[in-house]
Amino acid sequence: MQGVVFNAHWLTFFDEASTRWFEWLGFDPKETFIEGGAFDVMVVRAVLEWKGPAGFDADVAIEVAPVRIGDASFDVRFAATADGSPACVGTITYVSVVPGSKRSVPIPDVLRSKLEQHTAVP
């Protein structure tokens, strides 16, 4: 046991953070990411960069911001701290899909406008 968060768990933490972030943007997850919902996205790429340890009982905070918006995909940066110190940075590429399918489509205008309002410089 290394006494730090296992690297793969950061993806779980970032997935939960993205759900809450979409909710903060005004997209209720129970109504958005379902067949017939406003939109859906799938992860197509994830990159993690370890910055420092996050141990048991650490206070982990995660900042979320889009950093790239394409035609049908976008990148979101997750910056995690543990007790105020850098712990992990992740960049996840999501592709827009038809809800209930795996078919890629352009990012819907309702989502694009929210992403553009909150895009950060990496």
> Residues 1-50: pLDDT tens digits?
677 788 889 999 999 999 999 999 999 988 888 778 888 999 999 999 99
Q: How many domains does the chain have?
A: 1
In a domain, 1, yes or no: no
Name the residue range of residue 46's domain.
9-118
Using 50, 70 and 90 to split pLDDT, how confident is the model at 115? Answer: very high
Nearest Cα residue to 48 out of 95, 94, 1, 92: 92
Nearest Cα residue to 13 out of 71, 66, 64, 75: 64
CATH number of the domain that residue 81 is part of: 3.10.129.10
Rounded Cα distance between 63 and 14, Å, is 10
Note the pLDDT tens digit of each residue in 81-97: 999 999 999 999 999 99
What pTM does this model have?
0.91
